[in-house]
């Protein structure tokens, strides 16, 4: 670990101000000073490795900064050791006094060392003496033995800094820890032996390959090992040389042998053999062996300089090991137990960082001065009574949560979760009307244009209906509700139209704005934004929300999602939000009949679609998911559409919808389907979210085994929105085992929560959310499914946060920095 002088100074100053009562550092100043002393010693000896100066340093000219310091260094060390015997108060003052001297010595030393470490002859800017200490944030070339060429190769693995390298973890380990004698070997085992080379020679095989053959003996027997095309090995495997060799025991002409085993000289500190051997992701030009060696050196040299983000007290109470041990063990574990402990510690840290970021976000958010809105209960009731239906109890509860929030002096930050079709849109509209009644604007963002377009239509027609009924009842609210302007920001607008719309938003002529996230974020400047609603965005993560909050004067925020998220996960990804759940569907919703059909039943499925259309209904046909690109997906949809139109349903009118169509064309296709002009809508999975066409009764999904449960549930939610019995037909060519499992589950379950949990269990969080899309920073060790660690970290984060929300106490300084670093790349959360 490097010595952080600033931090120490802050601690010491705080200690002095507190009257030297030793209350500043948890666990006492003694422990801190011990660690500090150790770090100071190693950094004075050699800031790179903690080892005594290397021979190269000793032979450098006397003018070099390195040599001139021998005396002050040892003096300081002596002083420091002296302090260690003295009482705390005395030590504090004395160490503070020595600090400056030590600091300047150390920085000179760093400068010299840096110059010495130059591996190429290009003149390089010499670091100024008062420059920063070598930190793990230095470029990876700071690691001894890594040149610029290797650095470039490492960059392909996402490694830029030394720290990146230390956190480049093996993706698996080969277990070469089973040490055996040659006599004990059996065919097929993965083992490690230690033996002395008896002889080694190069031979030519009959096919002209070069073969190196060595015989090893260990006192219990001897065995042959062979390698192809590495003739240089004979120079390394000299007679009498003791080596460790790991690999699978093979057989040749009835005798046991090793073929191309891993090996290394016996030194007592093994890298490639005789242990759990790390296997790193490979990249062009770096062999497994060279990356491993390089990593070994880097860890020895640099891991001790990592700052532990977790305060000692926390590590003790949670029974976690320190970061240096954890990093070492992640790379070169002593055994599987140590590896498990290392992983646990790092996993805990990542979850803690997530959680602290989320709590901090929530904390900051609560500090913001919001815009309390007046909610006139009487007016709201009048409007509700003018709706075409009665709100469900769950909708009323959600609305009450929201109105309570809107009245508060800090901005609302709420997640409204409700299964597909539970009626979130109307709740959103009512909330937006409250903003409008307060003379402010509201915005509703949708993930796709098609959905934005639909919201625009729903909102306008619902508003018209409400106004008419209010007028008929002679209610005063009819006036301003009738004047409420909804504006759609769509991609198909001409530049001039867009400019005009932008003006209307900026001047407040439009009260409610609807559009996609992208469009709204790029174009809209509001006159006075009071409420922002994000629809259908289970992937709209913490980071994106933070960006949204910068818009307007801290608008109230409501995020709506139909993807039910298991509790622990919700606390993580949405920990900055309060939660309302609509757990009840509007009455008289009929159950959708779901059938998984065999490929041979495709014709029957088509016949069923035909029959439904003859009965006046409509159908969706979803094309398979194609992951390569949406261009290929669109192309596939076009040809499927042509096939269905020409060969299967020549008598019906089909529409086609895919992601690469112009938005005007999309709107036209949707309009004609909504109006019943087309009977069947053939679509890529873009139709997944939100679409509401009550007359559609069949959802036919091709390649259904390729979709996740949550997505299939979304598709199914596109039908059964009107009064007619609806059907979901699933076709799969040759589903995998997991695919079959999913189809079986979706066929029998219509509970969105159960499906989401099942989805998470089956596919893992990576696919369920995708850390990128969820706005979470990259997780290197933790898996969202590690719910036990997640829960442990969550509680620890809450405790930390309750005691020190700003993480300002000295023992939390490193942790605060780490939270910032972790979240920094995602966004500036504060």
Q: Site residues (CB under 5 A) for Mg ion?
A: 690
Question: In the complex with Mg ion, which residue's Cβ is closer, 339 or 429?
Answer: 429
Question: In the complex with ligand ADP, which residue's Cβ is closer, 57 or 692?
Answer: 692
Residue 720 binding partner per list Mg ion, ligand ADP, none, with a CB distance cut-off of 5 to 8 Å that depends on partner kind: none
CB of 575 to ligand ADP, least distance (A): 23
Number of residues that bind ligand ADP (CB under 6 A): 17
Residue 24 binding partner per list ligand ADP, Mg ion, none, with a CB distance cut-off of 5 to 8 Å that depends on partner kind: none
Question: In the complex with ligand ADP, which residue's Cβ is closer, 168 or 557?
Answer: 557
CB of 608 to ligand ADP, least distance (A): 24
Question: In the complex with Mg ion, which residue's Cβ is closer, 304 or 690?
Answer: 690
How far is residue 488's CA from residue 477's CA, in Å, rounded to a whole number? 24
Task: Tell me which residue of 710, 811, 828 sits closest to 769, measured CA to CA.
Answer: 710
**DSSP element (H, E) containing 728:** strand 727-731
User: How far, in whole angstroms, is CA 585 from its chain's centroid?
Assistant: 33
CB of 450 to ligand ADP, least distance (A): 14
Query: For the residues of 163-228, what is the DSSP string, one character each?
Result: HHHHT---SEEEE---B--GGG--TT-EEEEEEEEEEEEEEE-TTS-EEEEEEEE-SS-EEEEEEE
Per CB under 6 A, the list member of 177, 425, 544, 684 interacting with ligand ADP is 425
Question: In the complex with Mg ion, which residue's Cβ is closer, 311 or 690?
Answer: 690
Q: Which residue has the tokens 């959103």?
A: 428
Residue 549 binding partner per list ligand ADP, Mg ion, none, with a CB distance cut-off of 5 to 8 Å that depends on partner kind: none
Q: Which residue has the tokens 């040659």?
A: 182
Write the interaction track for ligand ADP spanning residues 603-642; mark x where CB under 6 A is met and - where it is not: ----------------------------------------
Question: In the complex with Mg ion, which residue's Cβ is closer, 134 or 720?
Answer: 720
**DSSP element (H, E) containing 257:** strand 255-259
CB of 669 to ligand ADP, least distance (A): 20
Q: What are the two backbone dihedrals, phi and then psi, of residue 374, each rounded to the nearest 5 degrees? A: -80, 130
Question: In the complex with ligand ADP, which residue's Cβ is closer, 423 or 624?
Answer: 423
Question: In the complex with ligand ADP, which residue's Cβ is closer, 386 or 562?
Answer: 562
Question: In the complex with ligand ADP, which residue's Cβ is closer, 134 or 418?
Answer: 418
Residue 721 binding partner per list ligand ADP, Mg ion, none, with a CB distance cut-off of 5 to 8 Å that depends on partner kind: ligand ADP
Structure tokens at 771: 């850390």
CB of 685 to ligand ADP, least distance (A): 17
Binding status of residue 775 toward ligand ADP by CB under 6 A? no
How far is residue 35's CA from residue 77's CA, in Å, rounded to a whole number? 14
CB of 358 to ligand ADP, least distance (A): 25
**DSSP element (H, E) containing 350:** helix 336-367
CB of 163 to ligand ADP, least distance (A): 44
Structure tokens at 86: 């003295």
How far is residue 400's CA from residue 46's CA, in Å, rounded to a whole number? 64
CB of 578 to Mg ion, least distance (A): 20
Residues with Cβ within 8 Å of 302's Cβ and at least 6 positions away in sequence, in order, are 136, 143, 162, 165, 166
Q: Which residue has the tokens 């002529």?
A: 509
CB of 692 to ligand ADP, least distance (A): 5
Question: In the complex with ligand ADP, which residue's Cβ is closer, 424 or 666?
Answer: 424
Kindly tell me the sign of the dihedral angle through the C-alpha atoms of 186, 191, 197, 202. Answer: positive
- Which one of 12-20, 413-421, 549-557, 704-712 is the stretch in contact with ligand ADP (CB under 6 A)? 413-421
Pairing of strands 556-561, 593-597: unpaired
Per CB under 6 A, the list member of 175, 665, 668, 692 interacting with ligand ADP is 692
How far is residue 825's CA from residue 162's CA, in Å, rounded to a whole number? 17
Write the interaction track for ligand ADP spanning residues 524-563; mark x where CB under 6 A is met and - where it is not: --------------------------------------x-
Residue 395 binding partner per list Mg ion, ligand ADP, none, with a CB distance cut-off of 5 to 8 Å that depends on partner kind: ligand ADP
Binding status of residue 448 toward ligand ADP by CB under 6 A? no
Query: For the residues of 76-139, what is the DSSP string, one character each?
Result: HHHHHHHHHHS-HHHHHHHHHHHHHHHHHHHHHHHHHHHHHT--S-S--PPPPTTSPPP-TTSB
Q: Which residue has the tokens 């574990």?
A: 333
Question: In the complex with Mg ion, which residue's Cβ is closer, 162 or 560?
Answer: 560
Write the interaction track for ligand ADP spanning residues 334-373; mark x where CB under 6 A is met and - where it is not: ----------------------------------------
Question: In the complex with ligand ADP, which residue's Cβ is closer, 354 or 444?
Answer: 444
Per CB under 6 A, the list member of 423, 541, 575, 775 interacting with ligand ADP is 423
Question: In the complex with Mg ion, which residue's Cβ is closer, 331 or 718?
Answer: 718
Residue 586 binding partner per list ligand ADP, Mg ion, none, with a CB distance cut-off of 5 to 8 Å that depends on partner kind: ligand ADP
CB of 675 to Mg ion, least distance (A): 21
Per CB under 6 A, the list member of 418, 703, 720, 775 interacting with ligand ADP is 418
Question: In the complex with ligand ADP, which residue's Cβ is closer, 392 or 774?
Answer: 392
Task: Tell me which residue of 244, 203, 208 sits closest to 226, measured CA to CA.
Answer: 203
Residue 392 binding partner per list Mg ion, ligand ADP, none, with a CB distance cut-off of 5 to 8 Å that depends on partner kind: ligand ADP
Crossing angle of helices 29-45/88-116, nearest 10°? 30
Residue 423 binding partner per list ligand ADP, Mg ion, none, with a CB distance cut-off of 5 to 8 Å that depends on partner kind: ligand ADP
Alpha helices (runs of H) in 511-629, residue ranges in sequence order: 517-523, 542-550, 567-573, 602-614
SS (H, E, C) 765-794: HHHHCCCCCCCCCCCCCCCCCCHHHHHHHH
649: helix, coil or strand? coil
Q: Which residue has the tokens 């014709």?
A: 603
How far is residue 594's CA from residue 563's CA, in Å, rounded to a whole number? 19
Residues 570-599 that bind ligand ADP (CB under 6 A): 586
Q: Which residue is nearest to ligand ADP (CB)?
A: 423
Residue 612 binding partner per list Mg ion, ligand ADP, none, with a CB distance cut-off of 5 to 8 Å that depends on partner kind: none
How far is residue 203's CA from residue 208's CA, in Å, rounded to a whole number? 9
Per CB under 6 A, the list member of 95, 112, 426, 605 interacting with ligand ADP is 426
How far is residue 410's CA from residue 369's CA, in Å, rounded to a whole number? 5
Question: In the complex with ligand ADP, which residue's Cβ is closer, 177 or 395?
Answer: 395
Per CB under 6 A, the list member of 80, 225, 295, 420 interacting with ligand ADP is 420
Helix, strand, coil percent content, the chain, rounded in steps of 5: 50, 15, 35
Query: For the residues of 381-433, what is the DSSP string, one character each?
Result: HHHHHTSSSPPPHHHHHHHHHHHHHHHSSS--EEEEEE-TTS-HHHHHHHHHH
Residues 367-406 that bind ligand ADP (CB under 6 A): 389-392, 395
Residues 706-725 that bind ligand ADP (CB under 6 A): 721
Q: Which residue is nearest to Mg ion (CB)?
A: 690
Binding status of residue 421 toward ligand ADP by CB under 6 A? yes
Residues with Cβ within 8 Å of 650's Cβ and at least 6 positions away in sequence, in order, are none
Q: Between the CA of residue 224 and those of 198, 207, 255, 324, what are the distances in Å?
A: 10, 21, 9, 40
- Which one of 65-73, 75-83, 334-342, 418-426 is the stretch in contact with ligand ADP (CB under 6 A)? 418-426
Question: In the complex with ligand ADP, which residue's Cβ is closer, 328 or 721?
Answer: 721
Question: In the complex with ligand ADP, which residue's Cβ is closer, 509 or 695?
Answer: 695
Residues near ligand ADP (CB under 6 A) are: 389-392, 395, 418, 420-426, 562, 586, 692, 721
């Amino acid at each position: 670990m490097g010595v952080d002088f600033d931090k120490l100074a802050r601690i010491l100053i705080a200690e002095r101000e507190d009257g030297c009562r030793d209350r500043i550092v948890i666990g006492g100043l003694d422990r801190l000073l011990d660690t500090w002393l150790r770090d100071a010693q190693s950094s004075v000896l050699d800031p790179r490795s903690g080892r005594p100066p290397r021979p190269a340093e000793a032979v450098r000219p006397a003018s070099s900064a390195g040599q001139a310091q021998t005396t002050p260094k040892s003096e300081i060390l002596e002083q420091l050791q002296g302090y260690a015997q003295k009482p705390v108060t005395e030590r504090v003052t004395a160490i503070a006094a020595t600090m400056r001297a030590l600091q300047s010595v150390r920085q000179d030393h760093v400068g010299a060392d840096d110059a010495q470490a130059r591996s190429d002859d290009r003149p390089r800017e010499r670091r100024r003496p008062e420059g920063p200490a070598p930190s793990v944030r230095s470029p990876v070339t700071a690691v001894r033995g890594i040149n610029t060429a290797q650095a470039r190769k490492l960059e392909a693995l996402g490694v830029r800094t030394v720290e990146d390298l230390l956190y480049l973890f093996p993706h698996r380990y080969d277990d070469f820890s089973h040490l055996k004698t040659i006599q004990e070997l059996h065919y097929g085992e993965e083992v490690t032996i230690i033996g002395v080379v008896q002889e080694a020679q190069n031979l030519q095989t009959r096919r002209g390959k070069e073969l190196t053959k060595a015989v090893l003996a260990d006192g219990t027997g001897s065995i042959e090992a062979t390698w192809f095309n590495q003739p240089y090995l004979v120079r390394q495997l000299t007679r009498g040389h003791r080596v460790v060799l790991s690999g699978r025991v093979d057989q040749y002409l009835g005798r046991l042998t090793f073929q191309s085993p891993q090996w290394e000289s016996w030194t007592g500190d093994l890298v490639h053999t005789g242990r759990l051997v790390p296997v790193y992701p490979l990249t062009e030009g770096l062999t497994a062996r060279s990356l491993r060696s390089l990593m070994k050196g880097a860890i020895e040299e640099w891991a001790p300089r990592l700052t532990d983000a977790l305060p000692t007290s926390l590590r003790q109470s949670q029974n976690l090991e320190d970061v240096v041990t954890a990093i070492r063990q992640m790379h070169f574990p002593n055994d599987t137990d140590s590896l498990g402990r290392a992983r646990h510690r790092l996993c805990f840290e990542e979850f803690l960082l997530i959680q602290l970021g989320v709590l901090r976000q929530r904390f900051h958010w609560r500090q913001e001065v919001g815009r309390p809105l007046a909610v006139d209960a009487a007016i709201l009731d009048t409007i509700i009574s003018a709706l075409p239906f009665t709100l469900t109890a769950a909708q009323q509860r959600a609305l009450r949560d929201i109105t309570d929030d809107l009245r508060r002096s800090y901005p609302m930050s709420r997640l409204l979760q409700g299964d597909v079709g539970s009626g979130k849109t109307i709740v959103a509209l009512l909330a937006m009307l409250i903003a409008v009644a307060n003379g402010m604007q509201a915005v509703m963002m949708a993930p796709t244009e098609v959905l934005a377009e639909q919201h625009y239509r729903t909102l306008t027609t619902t508003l018209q209906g409400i106004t008419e009924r209010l007028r008929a009842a002679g209610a005063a609210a009819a006036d301003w509700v009738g004047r409420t302007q909804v504006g759609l920001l769509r991609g198909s607008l001409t530049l001039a139209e867009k400019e005009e719309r932008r003006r209307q938003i900026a001047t407040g002529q439009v009260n409610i704005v609807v559009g996609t996230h992208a469009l709204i974020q790029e174009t809209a400047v509001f006159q006075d934004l009071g409420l922002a609603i994000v629809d259908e965005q289970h992937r709209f993560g913490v980071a994106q929300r933070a960006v949204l909050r910068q818009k307007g004067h801290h608008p109230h925020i409501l995020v709506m999602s139909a993807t039910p998220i298991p509790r622990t996960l919700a606390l993580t990804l949405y920990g900055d939000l309060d939660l309302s759940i609509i757990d009840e569907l509007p009455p008289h919703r009929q159950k959708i009949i779901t059938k998984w059909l065999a490929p041979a039943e495709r014709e029957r499925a088509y016949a069923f679609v035909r029959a439904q259309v003859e009965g006046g209904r409509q159908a969706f046909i979803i094309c398979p998911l194609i992951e390569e690109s949406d261009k290929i997906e669109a192309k596939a949809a076009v040809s499927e559409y042509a096939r269905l139109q020409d060969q299967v349903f020549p008598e019906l009118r089909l529409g086609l919808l895919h992601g690469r169509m112009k938005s005007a064309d999309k709107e036209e296709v949707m309009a004609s389907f909504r109006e019943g002009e087309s009977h069947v809508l053939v679509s890529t999975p873009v139709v997944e979210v939100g679409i509401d066409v009550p007359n559609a009764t069949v959802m036919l999904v091709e390649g259904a085994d390729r979709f996740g449960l949550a997505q299939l549930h979304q598709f199914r939610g596109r039908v059964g929105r009107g009064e007619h019995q609806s059907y979901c037909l699933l076709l799969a060519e040759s589903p995998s085992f997991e695919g079959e499992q999913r189809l079986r589950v979706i066929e029998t379950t219509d509970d969105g929560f159960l499906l989401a949990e099942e989805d998470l269990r089956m596919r893992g969080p990576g696919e369920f959310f995708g850390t990128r899309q969820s706005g979470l920073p990259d997780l290197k060790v933790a898996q969202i499914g590690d719910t036990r660690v997640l829960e442990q970290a969550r509680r620890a984060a809450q405790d930390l946060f309750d005691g020190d929300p700003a993480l300002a106490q000295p023992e939390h300084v490193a942790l605060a920095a780490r939270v910032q670093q972790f979240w920094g790349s995602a966004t500036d959360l504060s």
